[in-house]
Structure 1
Amino acid sequence: MTLKTQMERIINKSYNNIGGIIVLKGGKTVYENYLNDCTAASTLHVFSVTKSIISILIGIAIDKGHIKSINQKVLDFFPDYTVKRGEKTIQDVTLKDLLTMTAPYKYKAEPYTEYFTSDDWVKSALDLLGGKGKIGEFRYTPLIGPDILSGILVKTTGRSVIDFATEYVFSPLGINVPGNIVFRNEEEQLAWYKEKNVRGWVADRNGVNTAGWGLSLTPMDMAKIGQLYLDGGVWKDRQMVPAWWIEESTKEHSRCNQYKLSYGYLWWIIDDKEHIYAAMGDGGNVIYVNAKKKMVVSIASLSMPHAKDRIKLMKEYIEPVFENYI
């Protein structure tokens, strides 16, 4: 049995919610496969991979002078926000704390119902920021919290997140994200999670796009983003993302003890020595970059609770097949 055959057997048996998988080596497509009735045109909800796209946009906004520094206080971006009496922690939280998942929040379990029924998800997140937790301690916030970053992008650029992303990332890469998706009820949202071809970016009723989830991409869209980062932010001889931002974003700034992984600026650091990092989303959506081996792997997956760890799949089955390709 060849390594490739073994890899495909493992995928079919243990990773059976995958919609599409692409492997790039040295910038060339060396493997492309679609499963579960998905095709190259299928766009899937990539869940928390959205966070890493937001990180890219923050870096571009800094480069263009919209944001001065990641050390700015979060509340500096929201001068009209009223802090409740007696609250102090929120006043010291910085943009960097949000990017490194080291900001404290006032909830033990995310209040999803309160969040989803709100018209203004940015304000909902600000209302929950702070509390008695310590700034600097890693706390991963899947949905409620990252939207503050969308609010910062809107405030500083004067544009919607999707418009800013389209001009500076999506259009140059040939990625089509046609517009906002606004859910009218829970049923619509749950149905959307399960779709195999959904185009757009989720937004609240104010039109502010989500930062922690809600973006839909094709497997090739994801692979292009990985290649953009592998190439230091350059695409077709154009410096799209500052090289220094990519370097900073993909090195350790905090650590998640639960998963025994380091965290950069909304990117997971898989291996510091080989410079392997990844954008990872629920259900097993991944943009995986191995800088040392010049390899990018993208996996778009159908929604599924408790999907099997993709990093093991990458390291034990995918990398050995393609690492020697030239």
Structure 2
Amino acid sequence: MNQRKKLCLEKIVNSSYNNTAGIIVLKDGKTLYENYFNGYTAASTLHVFSVTKSIISILIGIAIDKGYIKSIDQKVLNFFPDYEVKRGEKTIQNVTLKDMLTMTAPYKYESEPYTEYFTSHNWVNSALDLLGGKGKIGEFKYTPVIGPDIFSGILVKTTGQSVLDFATENLFSPLGINVCGNVVFHNKEEQLAWYEEKNVKGWVADPQGVNTAGWGLTLTPMDMAKIGQLYLNKGIWNGKQIVPTWWIEESIKEHSKWGKLSYGYLWWIIDHKEHIYAALGDGGNTIYVNTKKKMVVSVASLFMPQAKDRIKLIKEYIEPMFEDCVV
């Protein structure tokens, strides 16, 4: 990449995507570009918001491969035998793990009841209380925050470990990723302040110590790039199979749709022709994988309401700059 192109890219980032903290471009596993903005460095961790969901998808696949979970066709309530279903509730009893992975499980709300949820002492049970209702199983309903924590409950129940410990042992440590511990909020003010902090670390957990599944994980831009490269490598890292290949293939296949957007197992399918898929989070946090071009792009960002689409930045500016590079 010549200096003129580099300066052009950075001018675009600084002017139109000015909440960006870091960008990394890998091709054939080699770093072609790595740069940081807004005072961030390679060591900085950021809250990646809904990118957390795609990490949870990876952990579910590992748990299935290790025999902790039998099948994604298992009913969700089978994992919570002590949970009491409210009288008249029928839909919740038929929701499967696959329904939740593809965001086709119904919930009893139009907009997420954040205050009720975050002030509860058990976020998994609160999510279960909201699962089901009068909606139909099979209709896409994206749940940004409330709902995915059920995955965390399932992982804790089946593995006997915390989500962070299971992730550290089976995913993070093999990739050289360090997530330093749990973050627990004692009130709404602490949570809102955490969103605004520049240097956040760890993984958010509820008062029971159960890590969040829809948001709340912090990673460095290179951590994000490593996750993308792991998937591009079909689950292999340093010669070791970390994630089963069959799980990756299923995860990045269309299982549901939201308008024109395709969805896999907590991964977004961007382009079927070039086999492009992504983990996407608020503010523009992105793990982007182009299978055909063997490219991975990670973009770490600060939270900004209605942030500009990073997929456009990648497809229109970043990819064309690097696709002809010979590694």
| TM-score bracket relative to the smaller structure | over 0.9
* AA partner of residue 10 (structure 1): I
**TM-score when scaled to structure 2?**
0.98
RMSD after superposition: 0.9
Q: State the match for 2:275 in structure 1.
A: 275
Matches within 5 A, 1:213-228: 213-228=215-230
1:130 paired to 2:132: yes
| Whole-Å separation in 1 of the counterparts to 2:225 and 2:194 | 23
Residue 203 (str. 1) matches residue 205 (str. 2)? yes
Secondary structure of 1:21's match? strand
Q: CA deviation at 1:4?
A: 3.5
Superposed, which structure 2 residues align to 1:1-326 within 5 Å? 2-257=4-259, 260-326=260-326
Percent identity for Structure 1 against Structure 2: 79
Q: Deviations over 1:216-266 (max 9, x none)?
A: 000000000000000000000000000000000001000011xx2100000
The answer to which of 270-279 and 188-197 deviates more is: 188-197
Cα displacement string for residues 129-168 of structure 1 (whole angstroms, at most 9, x for unaligned residues): 0001010000100000000000000011011000000000
Amino acid paired to 1:268: W
Distance in 2 (alpha carbons) for counterparts of 1:21 and 1:174: 19
Once the two structures are superposed, what CA deviation does each residue of 1:84-111 show, in whole Å capped at 9, x if it has no partner?
0111100000000000000000000100
| Amino acid of the structure 2 residue aligned with 1:107 | Y
| Aligned-partner Cα distance in 2 for 1:33–1:146 | 32
Distance 2:167 2:117 in 1: 24
Secondary structure of residue in 2 paired with 1:283 = helix
Return the alpha-carbon distance in structure 2 between the equivalents of residues 324 and 239 of structure 1: 30
Q: Secondary structure at the match of 2:170?
A: helix
Tell me, yes or no, if the aligned pair for 1:46 and 1:216 is still in contact at 8 Å: yes
Deviation at 1:6, TM superposition (A): 2.8
Question: Is the partner of 1:286 in helix, strand or coil?
Answer: strand
Mind listing any 5+ residue stretches in structure 2 that lack a counterpart? none
Give, as a single letter, the amino acid of the residue that structure 2 aligns with 1:299: V
Cα offset, 1:185, TM superposition = 1.1
Report the alpha carbon displacement of residue 2 of structure 1 after superposing the two structures with TM. 4.3
For the residue of structure 1 that corresponds to 2:23, the secondary structure is strand
